Amino acid sequence: MFTSETDKPSSPAPGQNSAFLEEKAFRARTVLVFGTITDTVAAETARRLLALDADSDAPIDVIVSSPGGHLESGDVIHDMLRFISAPVNMIGSGWVGSAATHLFLGVPRERRVCLPQTRFLIHQPSGGAGGQASDIAIQAKEIINARERIAQVIARECGQPLERVRADIERDLWMPAEEAKEYGLVSRIIERRTELAKA
């Protein structure tokens, strides 16, 4: 029973809970990639991956739930996953779309899993071209180049024919977990963290 004002527990300082959770996530070797993929998210994710890689060569778990975002920001995370030495388990949850699917493919298929309710989206890059005609032509060429690059990554990492992937990404292609497994986006559908040990 509290008898005076000084005996009452103090409220957590601003950011205190956040720091506590950050430390727990670091000790658990877990990185969360949630929300729109931006340059800020890419920088933060890369920083965490590098820190965890420097700390130990034990596996890192990356949990992704994102509608996508900036393609080049997705490129940063995709490439960083390949750059570090520690193995990474990629776990899809909620939805994994567009640029998020691209970074999701940054690890080998046997290490890509998802939770049962996860949905995946693949499609071609989009962009708003504006300005002078010559600038619009340059932007259009870059979008076409990015589309081909994305198609090649999906084909390579999912084991699909390139022509099929090119056709599939012409429009939005949504896949629930089972279809994503059949397509090659994920190797397994899991329900519990203990199942990651099989990766």
Q: Which residues are catalytic?
A: 123
DSSP 3-state percent helix, strand, coil across the chain (nearest 5) = 50, 20, 30
The span from the CA of 151 to the CA of 133, in Å, is 27
CB 185 within 8 A of CB 111: no
CB 83 within 8 A of CB 110: no
The span from the CA of 45 to the CA of 32, in Å, is 8
**Tokens 């005996």 sit at which residue?**
7
